[in-house]
Every structure is written in C-alpha cells, then in structure tokens.
Amino acid sequence: MSSIPDQLHAGAVTYAKAPALLLAFYESVAGLAVEHIERDHVILRSQSFQLVILKIPERIATSVEIGTPPRRRTDTPIKLVFFIASIADARAAALELGGELDPPEREWEFQGCRVCDGQDPEGNVVQFRQAAR
C-alpha cells in the first residue's frame, strides 16, 4: 500500500550544491512549506505538489560552478512552474534570497495568468504565474 497523501498530484526533484539556499528560496518565493529535512535532502510541499531538493554529492559538487550572481541555466528541457499570488512580491523575495525574476516588461499573459520567468539561487530556470487581473 502506498503512503502517498491523496492530495499530492505532482512533484519534482532537483539537485543542489547548497540545498539550504534553495529551501529558503522556494519556501519564500513559491510558498512551499518544509515537510522534512535530512542531511542530504529537503522535502518541500504545497497542498498538491512536492519538491525534493537533493544535495549534490561532494565529489560532483566540486566540479559545479555557480557564479555570483548565478548564471541562468538555460540548457535544460525542464522548467518548474509555480502558481503564486503575486509576481511583484515574488520578485522582491527572490532578490533577497539570491535568485531573480525577469523585470515586469518581460512578463506575458498565458491561459488567464500573468507569467514571469526567473531563476533560483543556483541558476535553475523557474516560471511563476499569478491569476491575470
């Protein structure tokens, strides 16, 4: 028998050189709550989504370079999407936590939402959507 809560419908796993930075970013900017923390991973969740952040093993992490500010990693076919209350609030929080959202002039409308791309503190591309007014 599965012990997966009925309300979970989707999830993602990401690897991080500094999981604590990503924990703070996704907790504040995407509104996810900490569900579980271990030495090598963190589990965050919303009502229906779970994000697992795994620490990159040290032997691999030494070869991963993250600049200051981090360079956006655009060479991946996956982009996480989070539905949030306010892109403006997310933009401000992201800057405080080492990430970044694109400026307002680069936002667009899609499926009844205002949409903005950004990046987390390790340069992973993330998209945020708020209900269009």
Check: CB of residue 36 under 8 Å from CB of residue 45.
no
Predicted confidence (pLDDT) at residue 87 exceeds the cutoff of 70: yes
Omega cis (within 30) before 69: yes
**In the chain, % of residues over pLDDT 90:** 72
Q: SS3 of 122, please?
A: coil
Q: Whose CA is closest to 33, among 57, 1, 58, 8?
A: 8
Q: How many domains does the chain have?
A: 1
**Averaged pLDDT score across all residues of the chain:** 90
Give me the residues paired with residue 37 across strands. 42
Residue 121 resides in a domain: yes
| pLDDT over 70 (residue 5) | no
**Residue 3 falls inside a structural domain:** no
Instruction: With respect to residue 104, please indicate whether it lies within any of the assigned structural domains.
Output: yes
pLDDT higher than threshold 80 for residue 133: no
Q: Does residue 64 lie within any of the structural domains? A: no
